[in-house]
Amino acid sequence: MTAKSTYKAEVVVIGGGLAGMVTALELLDAGKRVVMLDAATRERFGGLALWSFGGMFFVDSPEQRKNGIKDSVDLAMRDWVRYGELDPNDVWPYRWAEAYVNRCTEEVRGWLAERGVSIFRAVGWTERGYFVPGNSVPRFHIVWGTGEGIVLPLIERLDAHEKSGRLQLHFDHRVDGITQEGGQVVGCHGTSGAGSFEDCRRPRQGAQGVAARPMGRAT
């Protein structure tokens, strides 16, 4: 009979890509105990972001200002709505765009900078648009070290949490479904590379649930 492993924590984070890493760090830095599951091997920790060019979209950034690039939230929103061909019925795409454009430089760039991620001073001008005008000014910020320059500093911090015992990292673990009890999500279940069935359940007292892929990505 295949052995069954049970992991317990306040929160289970599904996926070890950039979104999962950021989510886990936010929770761990807030004092939570976290189980993190990823279907890939540890060598692929970080997902597609690890092999990305490390490009980040920021608006009115310090790098833009140093290069004399005049940008603003209003200009970026006009570009986004036009290039994305959003119409008044696209309520949630519009809200997401508005939230990101307004907060990306302070919250995303600021969050990364606080964790040792550095941005190359030159700003690229991508997605100008062929048939529909795109970015009217350069907004493509490259991280020093490209994708590894984003992922490796975050891995270093996650490793520290793992050594402290607050984080359990389990690779080669594929989540096949969400576990519910009484109409509430209490964990997840799946299989590992060895073929065993995994059951991740949060403690009933002070539990926080399951988080999965809540953020964006590096290009």
Looking at residue 3, what is its pLDDT? Answer: 65
pLDDT digits (tens, 9 = 90+) for 168-183: 999 999 999 988 888 8
Q: Give the CATH number of domain 5-49+151-212; options: 3.40.50.720, 3.40.50.620, 3.50.30.60, 3.50.50.60.
A: 3.50.50.60
* Segment 22-48 mean pLDDT: 95
pTM of the complete model: 0.84
* SS3 category, 134: coil
pLDDT digits (tens, 9 = 90+) for 108-160: 999 999 999 999 999 999 888 877 889 999 999 999 999 999 999 999 999 99
Mean pLDDT for all residues in the chain: 88
Query: In terms of DSSP bridges, do strands 140-143 and 119-124 run parallel, antiparallel, or are they unpaired?
Result: antiparallel
Looking at residue 186, what is its pLDDT? Answer: 83
Could you give the CA distance from residue 41 to residue 38 in angstroms, rounded to a whole number?
A: 8
Return the domain boundaries, the chain.
5-49+151-212, 55-144
At 165, list the tokens. 């015992």
* Segment 84-103 mean pLDDT: 93
Could you give the CA distance from residue 23 to residue 96 in angstroms, rounded to a whole number?
A: 18
